[in-house]
Amino acid sequence: MRLKVGDTHEAVVIDKIARTHIVKYAGASGDFNPLHHDETIAKGMAGYPSVFAHGMLSMGLTGRMLTDWLGPTALRKFGVRFTKQVWPGDTLTARGEVTAVSDEGGKQVATIRVVTVNQDGDSVVEGEAVAEV
């Protein structure tokens, strides 16, 4: 695969996230923080409008966009900030844009700006990845 600065890739990584998706991620990751599945605690004790998705679920879904695009072992680095919470019913679209490409001893190394947005266009995850492609 050849990449050049300005190349982009975009994918809807989850459509109307369900509480069941969030629970499944809790089980797979081991993160059983009740804020992510127990509405009584999320609303009553913590003061949130409902449960919300693990940041790492949003990052994992964003990672799926990257591995679908670049391959399962291409990533050298992947880092994000969690910029907004993801609520049940949200639809997330992950986008990557190549911002730099360098040649390291015959290997093509690309830097990719990563943003995942919800259905309102608000970013929920922002970060950067470095991939050998």
Distances (CA, A) of 29 to 25, 26, 60, 68, 118: 6, 5, 11, 21, 23
Q: Is 91 exposed, middle or buried (0-12, 13-18, 19+ CB in 10 A)?
A: middle
User: How far is residue 86's CA from residue 54's CA, in Å, rounded to a whole number?
Assistant: 8
Which helix (H) or strand (E) covers residue 118, if one does? none
Rule CB under 8 A: is residue 79 a binding residue for another protein? Answer: yes
Rule CB under 8 A: is residue 86 a binding residue for another protein? Answer: no
- Positive/negative CA dihedral, 32, 126, 75, 8: positive
Rule CB under 8 A: is residue 21 a binding residue for another protein? Answer: yes
Rule CB under 8 A: is residue 33 a binding residue for another protein? Answer: yes
Nearer to another protein by Cβ, of 24 and 119: the residue is 24
CA 118 from chain centre, in angstroms, equals: 11
Smallest separation (angstroms) from another protein to the CB of 83: 10
Rule CB under 8 A: is residue 89 a binding residue for another protein? Answer: no
Q: Which two tokens stand for residue 10?
A: 């975009």
Rule CB under 8 A: is residue 99 a binding residue for another protein? Answer: no
- Binder to another protein among 1, 24, 119, 122 (CB under 8 A)? 24
Smallest separation (angstroms) from another protein to the CB of 10: 16
Residues at the site binding another protein, with contacts judged by CB under 8 A? 13-14, 21, 24-25, 27-35, 41, 45-49, 54-57, 59-61, 63-64, 66-68, 72-73, 75-82, 85, 127
